[in-house]
Structure 1
Amino acid sequence: MPLSHSLNVIFGAAAVSGAGVRRDRRRLLVLFLLPTLVMAIVGFAMGGYSSASFEVGLVDRANTSESRALAAALVSNERYQIRDYTNEERLKLAVFRGRMNAGILIPPGWHGDQNLVVYLSSASAGAAIMRAGINTELSRMARGGQPFEIPIRYPAGGHAGVPRLGFAYTAPANLVLFVMVTGFVSALTILQLRESGISRRLLAAPRRTWELLAMLAIAPAQQMIAQAVFMIVAARFFFGIHWGDTVGLVLTTAAVTSLGVAIVLLMGTVFRTRQQATALGPWIAVSIGMLGGCMWPLEVVPPFMKTLARLSPASWAMDAYLGLIFDHATFSEIAPDIAMVFAFAAVIATAGIVRLRPQLSR
């Protein structure tokens, strides 16, 4: 059978699958709207746009050279955005409601030798970092020169640079998570073929095995690619996320979608019924995502959990995406992480293919 005919069959199956998804509004909701809503809600909970800077309110009742010097130092710090307040109660309310990450009250007659009142929200992910930054500026003023070094250490030996918070963290986290969710749920396709008996007729037809596997993979693959591209574009235009190196972004996303397709091939042989796929699939994906850092930064987990996270392909994908976004890494720097995601996908897909043919023939 000529290759062109095989490709026509595969592309025809892809067109039919795409048309079916476009007609299914509930499917479109799960693929596109739900991930964006989760990205927005969790992103705001983690600090919103504060990954780039912290909002700091300032009430200066001293108006001394020292208080003005402190304000100028905070303004010059690229991590802070300073807003002047004239009322202490309004400042406290802004911190309480989350509009400000911190509030500083400089008392009358302050000359740098007295304590300051600093309001911080205990629910803020950056509260400890804010406190360290303010202490740094005060120590510099007290010494009249270089500030004290106030190192920030994570129990798991994590990242000590720009805080990984807000939309810049939840955008890649939800991309990885929802592609895996789509992979687990898309195992329904294989289950439907088995239950309807169509799989046996396909195997009996004069088709090569790779053609059948391609037809099974093409439908979820195009859904995951569309989902990933949509989330990348939405995060860029609605949340201002800069995804970094284009080559690294494309290959990381290709690795993640390959992982999703591999999950389809394996879980289509593991789940016995469609009810299992829809009920258990999302929970398994969420569990893998939690282990891999899709719910919270791995910097905050105990060391043994950070080690255990290496067993989750999500952790390697997250390392690649976060390296691109926060560290401005090049492709060569994240290539080992991408290779690990592809390796996970290859192992999972191989296991699925080995189990697939005998099950489809039943």
Structure 2
Amino acid sequence: MKKIWALCWLELKQILIKPQSYILMFGMPLIFTLIFGGLLGGSGNEKVNISLVDQDGSTLSDSYYKEIKKSDLISIEKVTYEEAKQKIKNKKSSGIVIIPKDFQKSIVDGKIEKVKFQLSADFTGGTSVEQVLQSATKKMEIEVAAARDSEQKGAASWEKIYETIHTKAEPFSLQKESIISGEENLNNVTGRAAGFSILFVMIVMLSATGTILNTRQLGIWYRLLGTPTAKAQILGGYILSFFLIGWIQFGTLMLLTNILFGIQWGNLLGIIILVSVLLLAVIGLALLLASIVKTTEQQSALGNIVVVSTCMISGLYWPIEIEPEWMQTVANFVPQTWAMRGFTELIVRGGTLADIAGYVGILTLFAGAFFIVGLTRIRYD
């Protein structure tokens, strides 16, 4: 054990003695969190500006417009199509909702004419807006169907019945309360703090595990093997140093984001276990990449591609809900996704270790698979 600690301490000093290491470990995550989470993210309560073009001009199309206006997500304005395009061009609107001609007739006949939604090229929240539009359409279909059924039973005209159903029905309201004081949801700053902490921990781990390749290229590893030190002890010293570096980085980022941004990370035991298994998964992945390539340059190139792409897919840069369905499916196969779900459970819902046991188990499986493949492929000469 003494030899393992000696190698671990040597590696720690080599990394922590460099001033640029602190910029990468602490400065960059905080700057990225501030920019993407704070300055660009706003308060997280702003509505999406949408333009509506009513080509039908009917009772139902007007009712549809009023229904969308009730949404907490969308701020909608009725304009002409030319005005809508101009708003998109001037960045004053993120999309255009077009109610087609014969919209009312199609709903009454049970042959729904789909509402069109055109969004600007730089708008990433289209999925959420589509859900609001589909919900309003489905609600209208049900109300019109009920009104038509009553009309066929000899009641008044469906228009009058629909007006009664639509205006008299009490809207369902939901009051949201947070388990953790001051946190209603995983807001932009909190989500990005967790996401960028994971991202830069992965980048630092790639840089740290690159020392294995470097020492092998310089012949240092070969000389270490010539001493009375076993391979397992050498690897143990390196892996322990990587783990401690990861915890120094993540623990410091947790403290700094709490002080600077007021982020409460939740249950301490849950955080310790979640971060620990996450670090093991990240170290395992870094070792796996180091076992595939031959030089530190190759590892850096391949590692950056793997880290950046998987972090994008797993929702570290933005909420995963805005991604296409296929990307959300792929996200289940990368460890960062399960780490973010664990952080969400702890931070937002006030969860405990028991609540994140499933996420911890999946991360442990990732770590085990990466370590098995990486350590069996690693070369000692």
1:360 matched to 2:380? The reply is: yes
Letter in 2 for 1:219: S
Q: For 1:245 and 1:163, how far apart are their aligned partners in 2? A: 16
Unaligned runs of 5+ in 1: 1-6, 57-78, 80-95, 97-121, 133-141, 152-160
1:36 matched to 2:30? The reply is: yes
Deviations 1:317-349 (A, max 9, x none): 111011111222222111101111111011101
2:209 aligned partner: 187
* Contact 1:224–1:260 (8 Å) recurs in 2: no
* Contact 2:6–2:237 (8 Å) recurs in 1: no
1:137 aligned partner: none
* Contact 2:195–2:340 (8 Å) recurs in 1: yes
Q: For 2:221 and 2:124, how far apart are their aligned partners in 1? A: 53
Q: For 1:162 and 1:36, how far apart are their aligned partners in 2? A: 22
Q: 1:303 aligns with which of 302, 313, 325?
A: 325
* Contact 1:245–1:328 (8 Å) recurs in 2: yes
Letter in 1 for 2:227: A
Letter in 2 for 1:42: F
1:257 aligned partner: 279
Q: 2:228 aligns with which of 206, 230, 242?
A: 206
Unaligned runs of 5+ in 2: 48-71, 73-89, 91-121, 134-165, 176-182
2:4 aligned partner: 10
Q: Percent identity?
A: 25
Q: For 2:46 and 2:286, how far apart are their aligned partners in 1? A: 44
Deviations 1:191-247 (A, max 9, x none): 112101122222333323321111221222222111100111111111111111111
The number of residue pairs the alignment matches comes to 271
Deviations 1:258-297 (A, max 9, x none): 1222123222212221222233322321111112111221
Shift of 1:250: 0.9
Q: What TM-score, normalized by structure 1, do the two folds share?
A: 0.66
Q: For 2:294 and 2:171, how far apart are their aligned partners in 1? A: 63
User: Could you say if the C-alpha distance between residues 309 and 123 of structure 1 is closer, same or farther in structure 2, counting changes exceeding 3 Å?
Assistant: closer
* Contact 1:47–1:125 (8 Å) recurs in 2: no
1:276 matched to 2:298? The reply is: yes
Q: For 2:269 and 2:168, how far apart are their aligned partners in 1? A: 46
Q: 2:311 aligns with which of 289, 293, 303?
A: 289
* Contact 1:259–1:342 (8 Å) recurs in 2: yes
Secondary structure of the 1:329 match is: coil
Q: For 2:14 and 2:235, how far apart are their aligned partners in 1? A: 19
User: Could you say if the C-alpha distance between residues 44 and 144 of structure 1 is closer, same or farther in structure 2, counting changes exceeding 3 Å?
Assistant: farther
2:147 aligned partner: none
Q: 1:332 aligns with which of 328, 331, 354?
A: 354
* Contact 1:46–1:165 (8 Å) recurs in 2: no
Shift of 1:125: 7.0
Letter in 2 for 1:230: T
Shift of 1:179: 1.6
Letter in 2 for 1:291: I
Shift of 1:252: 0.8
1:87 aligned partner: none
Root-mean-square deviation (CA, aligned residues, Å) is 3.3
2:254 aligned partner: 232
Q: For 2:124 and 2:249, how far apart are their aligned partners in 1? A: 31
Q: For 2:294 and 2:39, how far apart are their aligned partners in 1? A: 38
Deviations 1:126-159 (A, max 9, x none): 997xx99xxxxxxxxx9799544599xxxxxxxx
1:26 aligned partner: 20
User: Where do residues 76-91 of structure 1 align in structure 2 (5 Å cutoff)?
Assistant: none
1:104 aligned partner: none
Q: 1:220 aligns with which of 232, 242, 251?
A: 242
Q: For 2:29 and 2:11, how far apart are their aligned partners in 1? A: 21
1:347 matched to 2:341? The reply is: no
User: Where do residues 93-172 of structure 1 align in structure 2 (5 Å cutoff)?
Assistant: 147-149=171-173, 163-172=185-194
User: Could you say if the C-alpha distance between residues 195 and 348 of structure 1 is closer, same or farther in structure 2, counting changes exceeding 3 Å?
Assistant: same
Q: For 1:182 and 1:342, how far apart are their aligned partners in 2? A: 20
Q: Which structure would you say has the larger Rg? A: 2
